[in-house]
Chains A and B, each alone.
Chain A
């Protein structure tokens, strides 16, 4: 009998402690979920995204937390899952974040394929999500994708910049290769449109697998079409292998790539073959070379310094996560954790100076970027510089 009473009392102790503890007030933490491709083929993107998110979490909490609409400081709690670059795992992670972790919003995922995979789940649960993946399809049409936002420049924006650049250089016969999964496929869909608009002729269109070890066959096929410029749309390591193959085969036309190569790893892997490659990307890589009056310059330099002090060379992918986390945190200051209010606060964010660009969200634009968010970048002596 005594034992029973003792057991009941013991069982009640934590409950009572919790109840009084809550009365005595640490403000409840603001929980934000994050899904990144920390392993798998997307890991060169997902790892810096996670690192950046952790850095921001520490930074916010060092200041005491997020100042909510109630005027109090709430600690920021990130719940981060790895989707292993896999669509199925991304959906499971999203469900877990929504049902078990009860997060106010979701940051991620890293890849276009995984983001598209979780869109339905997130929409149905009515949770705001800010993707770090490129594809325009993730947030379009905005009227249907009410709960979904994204921070990287859309393919159309990036590809448009590339097509304009090719046109301006008079390189109108273009050979195209893309990696055969969402990133490359969607890049091709946009490029086909942009090329038509800019009056470019696509003389070859080839694919390769993301785990292929050799692309010389595809490049040889492209060579027979005698292009004036070649575009490879992929991410490392396959983008680096293609670059090396390109140099080994001695192909002469200038080589262009995608914003998917915006990390130092690409240059390390491709070695000297990377020199001369031109690609459209955000301004982060060339932050030091921007004009002094560039609105992003200060933010970019500060992020580059903080990131490089902790983790190594900067890359644009970490910047996408920086934008996504900052966007959610900024909206939480206005709206707290109520998901509907939070969504509205994200959608009404204007003139947010981020790493990827200056964002102006609206009911019809859930990406909020324009052409100014892209600069043509060139690799010279293993370094990035603004392309002329």
Chain B
């Protein structure tokens, strides 16, 4: 039987990794919630955010400058992707758009391979110092940053969506595009904004996890998939759900690795996803996964 200290360590490790998944899952939710598109290039936004931050920091920029620059840059890339690749396909079937996002992810990964090469890069932690000890569990300082950023982003999104005019417009588009348009909301702009925001969020996630995971051109695929699972677990359309899904997945993986066998760790995410989909189809869930297309 594992002791309390070990259990605490599994949960702590799982929460940090879960925070990473949650941040990435949020990017999926924002694009899906508004546009009903699953953006499989989300993981590549994370990768670009991480690599841009590393490169800018290597040029001597302080992190307080490097991170915002990377976030804005990748946000602009998200907007450009929407304008160039997604908008022309507005009337195309969802599957076509999905395939385009997969294509975009392969292209971004290839581009990163050319620019940064294949080696992984290290980034110094945001704050130096030995790891913290909480209830016998060790948490690296960067892990606290991950959790704090996830919390801040969640709070920020909650505020914008609930309290601001722009947030209301986004919610209106998410509920019914046609009605929103009739009410004078510029749906195109909302879509563009959603993509830019998800790019920026992905980059932020990348920058904050890079000191833990290192940054490399092929980091986006696995992280993107795990973030996607987190988003689906949370119902795909709710930011709170994605956050909860991310933490749930991270802790579950960590517990599986610690208590059962580390060989099954990766299988956990995908087994949970399949089980969840079956349960959802059977209609046993207390919450709703949005699948219907609006507009």
Contact = CB atoms under 8 A, between A and B. Distances in A.
A43 B119 contact: yes
A214 B13 contact: yes
A77 interface: no
B40 interface: no
Contact of B20 (A43, A206, A213, A217): A213
B174 to A, nearest CB: 31
B250 to A, nearest CB: 9
A291 B275 CA distance: 62
A223 B17 CA distance: 20
Contacts of A271: 122
A39 B262 contact: no
Given A265-B120, A269-B122, A217 B263 contact: no
A38 interface: yes
Nearest to A271: B122
Contacts of A240: 120, 122, 214
Interface string B237-274: 00000000000000001110110011101100000000
Nearest to A251: B138
B5 to A, nearest CB: 8
B265 A248 contact: no
A208 B13 CA distance: 14
A123 B54 CA distance: 45
B105 interface: no
A209 B17 CA distance: 14
A180 interface: yes
Given A209-B265, A214-B212, A237 B140 contact: no
Given A207-B263, A217-B13, A221-B262, A43 B257 contact: no
B251 to A, nearest CB: 10
Contacts of B261: 207
Contacts, number: 103
Interface string B29-43: 000000000000000
B105 to A, nearest CB: 16
Nearest to A208: B262
Contacts of B88: none
A214 B17 contact: yes
B177 interface: no
A236 B121 CA distance: 11
Interface in A171-188: 177, 180
A269 B131 CA distance: 17
Q: Choose among A208, A216, A241 the residue with the greatest number of B CB atoms under 10 Å from its CB.
A: A216
Given A209-B266, A211-B222, A213-B20, A43 B122 contact: no
A218 interface: yes
A217 B120 contact: no
Interface in B176-208: none
Interface string A246-277: 00111000000000000001001101000000
A224 interface: yes
Contacts of B138: 216, 248-250
19 contacts: A40-B118, A47-B119, A180-B262, A207-B261, A207-B263, A208-B265, A212-B265, A212-B266, A213-B20, A214-B16, A218-B257, A218-B258, A221-B6, A236-B120, A237-B120, A240-B122, A248-B140, A249-B138, A250-B138
Given A212-B266, A237-B213, A249-B9, 5 more contacts: A214-B16, A214-B254, A217-B254, A237-B216, A250-B138
Which 5 interchain pairs have the tightest Cβ spacing? A43-B118, A213-B213, A216-B13, A217-B257, A237-B120
